[in-house]
Structure 1
Amino acid sequence: MEIMRYNGGAVSVRVIPGDGHCLFAALVHQYHRMEINSKEHRDATLDIRKRIENHIRENLERYAPSLTYAAGLDYGDANQGLSDFLSRLGNGKEWGGEESITAMTEIYNCRIDVYCEQGARISFNESGAANRTLRVAYRIGGRTSKSVERSHYDSVVQLLRNDATAEILSTNGAEENRNIGTGTLQQLLEK
């Protein structure tokens, strides 16, 4: 586990491997609470990629404007470019982003909170109809083995507050409070 700061405090995260599947692996960990390196987790990660690809294809009229921009596609050949992008997304050859998070909220009727490192929390699907909340951490500026800047997602397992209380996320998505130690958040971060 690692602690990551965001503008509202800090979160404890379960580190997800940086293998190009990190968003999907973090979402699967949040939804199913599977062991990260298990075969079941890998299979579920690939499955959610395909579900998200299919959902976006079925609702392309809503996704096309933002995807055309996000994928850097030429508007003249946007349809073929979108199809290629979605094929790469579903086959694990494209990273997921806001389009994938939005699709996940629609497929599973859930809310997703993204805690941005040194930034804000961004919520997707804040409707009262969402049946659970998934939480992921978005990290910018990490380095790969080739020393290239990268973005990365991890799975949030605790929300840390200034009063040293954490919300522990149970396997069914419910929350419970528990004391994680004494001292200020700053002292806990320094441990």
Structure 2
Amino acid sequence: MESVSVESKDEVLQRHRNEKKNMQCKIQSLKKSVAKGDRKRKKEVAEQIAEIEVKLNQKQFEELERLNNESVEDVFNSSLEKISLDDSTNKTSRAEKRRKKKITQLKEREATIQEHEIKNLGGARHKETQTLLQKLKNLGMSIYDIPSDGNCLYSAIVHQLKEVTGKIYTVPEIRMKTSDFLKNNKDDYIPYLSHPDTGNILTDEQFDDYCNQVANTAQWGGEVELRALSHIFNTPIKIVQAEGFDITIGIEYNDCNKPLILVFHRHMYGLGEHYNTVCLI
């Protein structure tokens, strides 16, 4: 039977440093791949970079959590046992002082390492993710990752429709349904849409253009699209978020169907919000 290699904490931290160096090299390579003036590619790369950083930070934090879950006392006792064996032939007051000094140094070193790692991984995105994970854990659920490609809202709905209703759709189908619904209910939705540059309510022409973008591009979806989707599928949509109370859109359908559950991340990516969905633990 092959022996399993177990990394020490020093080895894990060194590997983490190497992973971060490799990540920075990859980020620099991605940035160089963007042609000057190519806004679309620049946005895509920025999202890729944000996703790479989040995934690495989360992975490294979980590895540190697992290490830190090992009893610190076990570490100290192990060190104490080793020191005791070394000094077993010379149990003097000087040996006792050396033992206490080594234990104190070990405690201080462990505390410094943990403080350093917590500072590095304790940003807004991490705190938000941990809050969401705990809320979902209490519900017997976990986060199901959705790619950050502009389709996150629609991809999340596709996933939840399959999980909750067993019905299978594609993102283009969901986008087209949303676009058609908005066009057919213009008077209900146009007051909630404004031009990004002027802040004015959209004209009829601008509204039609907006609906066409919903159908044919990777335009990000928000509350307007969520309300439309709730009506399209006659189902409530519950939004789990770290800040404030969770929100349910389409409460009038609570007695008809089980809710679709989405996870809203306000701080996941530097470019803005993101939607994930859930799965059972």
Q: TM-score, normalised by structure 2?
A: 0.46
Answer 1 or 2: which has greater strand percent. Answer: 1
The CA RMSD measured in Å over matched residues stands at 2.8
List alignment gaps of at least 5 residues for structure 2: 1-57, 59-128
Q: Which moved more, 1:24-33 or 1:91-100?
A: 91-100
Amino acid at match of 2:225: S
| Aligned residue among 159, 167, 170 for 1:44 | 170
Match of 2:213 in 1: 88
Corresponding residue for 2:179?
Answer: 53
Once the 2 structures are TM-superposed, how far is the Cα of residue 84 of structure 1 from its aligned partner? Answer: 1.0
Matches within 5 A, 1:147-158: 148-157=270-279
| Amino acid paired to 1:49 | R
Contact 2:149 2:218 in 1 (8 A): no
* Residue identity in the other structure for 1:88: Q
C-alpha displacement of 1:71: 8.9
**Over residues 66-111 of structure 1, what are the superposed CA-to-partner deviations in whole Å (9 max), with x where a residue is unaligned?**
1237896534x62111111111111123111111111111111101
1:20 aligns with 2:146: no
CA contact (8 A) 1:115 1:135 kept: yes
Tell whether 2:261 aligns with 1:135: yes
What whole-Å deviation, never above 9, does each CA across 1:14-39 have from its counterpart, x for those lacking one? 000000000000011000139xxxxx
Aligned length: 146
Q: Quick one: distance in 2 between partners of 1:155 and 1:121?
A: 14
How many angstroms apart in 2 are the aligned matches of 1:54 and 1:72? Answer: 26
For the Cα contact (< 8 Å) 1:114–1:137, is it kept in 2? yes
Tell me the distance in 2 between the aligned counterparts of 1:93 and 1:65: 23
In 1, the alpha carbon distance for the partners of 2:236 and 2:207 equals: 26
What is the aligned partner in structure 2 of residue 120 from structure 1? 245
Give the corresponding residue for 2:66: none
Letter in 2 for 1:80: E
Unaligned runs of 5+ in 1: 35-40, 158-167, 169-179, 181-191
Partner of residue 102, structure 1: 227
Q: Does the Cα contact within 8 Å between 1:109 and 1:129 map onto a contact in 2?
A: no
TM-aligned CA distance change 1:132 to 1:119, over 3 Å: same
Contact 2:237 2:250 in 1 (8 A): yes
The verdict on how the C-alpha distance between 1:69 and 1:20 changes in structure 2, with shifts beyond 3 A counting, is same
d(CA) in 1 for partners of 2:198, 2:258: 33
Deviations 1:124-179 (A, max 9, x none): 11124432210000101223xxxx3321000122xxxxxxxxxx4xxxxxxxxxxx
Q: Partner of 2:162 in structure 1?
A: 32
- Aligned residues of 1:4 and 1:13 also touching (Cα < 8 A): no
Deviations 1:41-69 (A, max 9, x none): 7x611110100000111011111101237
| Identity percentage of aligned residues | 24
The change in CA–CA distance for 1:117 and 1:69 in structure 2 (over 3 A counts) is: farther
Higher share of residues assigned helix? 2
